[in-house]
Chain A
């Protein structure tokens, strides 16, 4: 007993860390990644590796040579951004576009605001939307499912469920195919079941709480349900909406991003309902067939104001009298 450490309480720590949470998210994405490798083959592998490598590399270069500060690429947050970006891309996107997307995600959306914890908008979504607006054709030309394909850029392409809904050009695939992921789409979004497995893992590990995914999915189900009941000929059923496009991916992995989502359960409900409503509005009446990305980014913008006004349930709070 030479020198004792003196510090204020508490004197023990849970052992939780940023990297444990980030790598937990990575593990939760593995089922969806495996599904995409199966459905889209080589293209999915190339796109994912490129996006992750580029994201981590850009974070390293910016931290080391521009900010000249500590390098924190091992905390796993850049890898998560890279994976999420890849999940939002078609598996036949050219390499250089992926790299541009990663640069926008990490360089513009994350590091320019001060790095992890300070970015107002979800970096991966900023990267994706940047690419969508810049390269609308490449970003909306999805390969059809071709199990364990060895094709990359020259893959055969087809329309997504939401594309069919918008254009009315062909008949919809079966809902069972949507749940499994046997449909064209961005590489990580197609398999609803794999994404739900990831959600279960994150809930068990207490990486996230259920509030955001449930509020988004519930809102979409209720809103599209009302539309469907009012006019089934014009509007698709809630099942089609729930299991198509980027909704599952968005609700489970994008909207739950720590940094850009509200800090209280009540706030999470407002945020989730907002994302659900905006998604359905954009899908149904907007110019784009899919609206999850925009909906999340718009609600990211509302997060600070939600945090300002919506407080947690205080201990001893009196019930409001009418």
Chain B
């Protein structure tokens, strides 16, 4: 079975919510819709206090190339434009809307019937995806349409669908595939058309055998779509790792996937693209997993954007006793949350409750030079060395040792027998080195 060729780990999967039907979360009384995404420029608000909005109505206009439109996820009245602490840990601009009923824009097709035909041109598809504010739902929230417009001279040869869901605990993508496999495949054909490729590969880790089976069966009716089972290995959902696993090409340092002929889209993004293109539905809701070892009711919930996480968690049975940490996203790359008064955003793939005992880091010991961090690093870096150099402000050396290649997957810190905070120091070094590189190229 295929997998990526350098490094990797296999944490306990703990997919407690696997196979749990998607539950549509109750409409909250108020939503706070962030205008900023995890990366890129925040959208400019196009509504003001007192405006009445419908579901799907645009409230934030993309500003700049790496930026995406934002739409209202509810119908009701805009009560204020303000800043709100979000999952990034920063206060950022957001639109506060008081919910009144559930009235959708008339242009949105809410009929659950599957619509297969797509007669739009390549350009029309890209425009629709852009207008719908679709971003990568794996967590990085990179605008989806940007990836469909390769830089001049570069041509995609193959579309790769990231259905790996390599983070432990999370199951939202898995369940989405089980319930909306057909729509996802139509989404794939739309993306293939937009990219003008005739081959697409859906990469799924082998701990989702039912999804692999289902997609394989469905894919038999489509031309050029392959479903590939992958060996369970973290961080296979990393873009470069997934390309390596599926087509045995390694994207060189500092380059983008299309330079080896690949474009990667997440499976949930693909579903959102189906809805945007075929049903005129902008990005107003997504499926997220609420889970944890002691979670009373681990499950997958379809949640409107801007819903406070506390609302969804309450619906899922509340925060379990003895929770020491709440993670927004997966336990390897997610962010620990200060509280649950945080609105869910496009990149919110889950909420994971970590027990007290697991939440506390163990005391740091000397590096025993066991080489385990080097062995597991999926980019072929030397985390022990980068940490030592970061501690000593050796930025030139860190750059020479390719610290900017680090994808912050956390495999090094996860593995370290001495509990050393390898990634903390590497991240710190990366931001400093990144700043040095930017000021150098600015000259």
Is B380 interfacial (CB 8 A cutoff)? yes
B417 touches A17 (CB 8 A): yes
Residues of B contacting A9 in the complex (Cβ-Cβ under 8 angstroms): 327, 331-336, 408, 410, 423
Q: Distance in Å from the Cβ of A300 to the closest Cβ of chain B? A: 12
A314 to B414, CA, bound (A): 20
Answer whether A314 and B253 are a contact pair too, CB < 8 Å, given A8-B424, A12-B331, A263-B384: yes
Q: Distance in Å from the Cβ of A275 to the closest Cβ of chain B? A: 17
Produce 1/0 per residue, B410-443, CB < 8 A to A: 1101111111010110010000000000000000
A1 touches B380 (CB 8 A): no
Which of the listed residues B333, B358, B417 has the most CB atoms from chain A within 10 Å of its own CB?
Answer: B417
Q: Distance in Å from the Cβ of A316 to the closest Cβ of chain B? A: 4
Q: Which chain A residues (190-237) contact chain B, with CB distance < 8 Å?
A: 209
Produce 1/0 per residue, A248-262, CB < 8 A to B: 000000000011011
- Contact-size category for B: 35 or more
Answer whether A4 and B368 are a contact pair too, CB < 8 Å, given A209-B375, A264-B382, A314-B381: no
Q: Which of A49-57, A58-66, A115-123, A278-286 contacts B (4 or more CB under 8 A)?
A: A115-123
Is B240 interfacial (CB 8 A cutoff)? yes
Residues of B contacting A8 in the complex (Cβ-Cβ under 8 angstroms): 336, 421, 423-424, 427
A6 touches B382 (CB 8 A): no
Residues of B contacting A313 in the complex (Cβ-Cβ under 8 angstroms): 6, 380
Is B277 interfacial (CB 8 A cutoff)? no
A318 to B374, CA, bound (A): 19
Q: Distance in Å from the Cβ of B176 to the closest Cβ of chain A? A: 24
Is B251 interfacial (CB 8 A cutoff)? yes
A123 to B88, CA, bound (A): 47
Task: Write the chain B residue with the least CB distance to A12.
Answer: B331
SS of A interface (majority): loop
Is B360 interfacial (CB 8 A cutoff)? yes
Answer whether A4 and B371 are a contact pair too, CB < 8 Å, given A10-B423, A314-B379, A314-B402: no
A9 to B426, CA, bound (A): 12
B168 touches A6 (CB 8 A): no
B367 touches A117 (CB 8 A): yes
Task: Write the chain A residue with the least CB distance to B365.
Answer: A18
Is B323 interfacial (CB 8 A cutoff)? yes
Q: Distance in Å from the Cβ of B391 to the closest Cβ of chain A? A: 14
Residues of A contacting B251 in the complex (Cβ-Cβ under 8 angstroms): 316
Q: Which residues of A are at the interface with B, using a C-beta cutoff of 8 A?
A: 1, 4-14, 16-18, 20-21, 72, 75, 77, 114-118, 209, 258-259, 261-264, 307, 311-318
- List 4 other contacts, CB 8 Å, given A14-B11, A311-B382: A10-B411, A17-B362, A258-B371, A315-B244
Pairs of residues from A and B, 4 with the lowest C-beta to C-beta distance, nearest first = A10-B410, A117-B366, A316-B250, A314-B380
Q: Can you sample 28 A-B contacts with CB below 8 Å? A: A4-B339, A7-B336, A8-B421, A9-B332, A9-B410, A10-B331, A10-B411, A11-B352, A11-B358, A12-B168, A12-B332, A13-B361, A13-B419, A16-B372, A16-B416, A17-B362, A116-B368, A258-B370, A259-B369, A264-B371, A307-B385, A311-B401, A312-B380, A313-B6, A313-B380, A315-B405, A317-B250, A317-B380
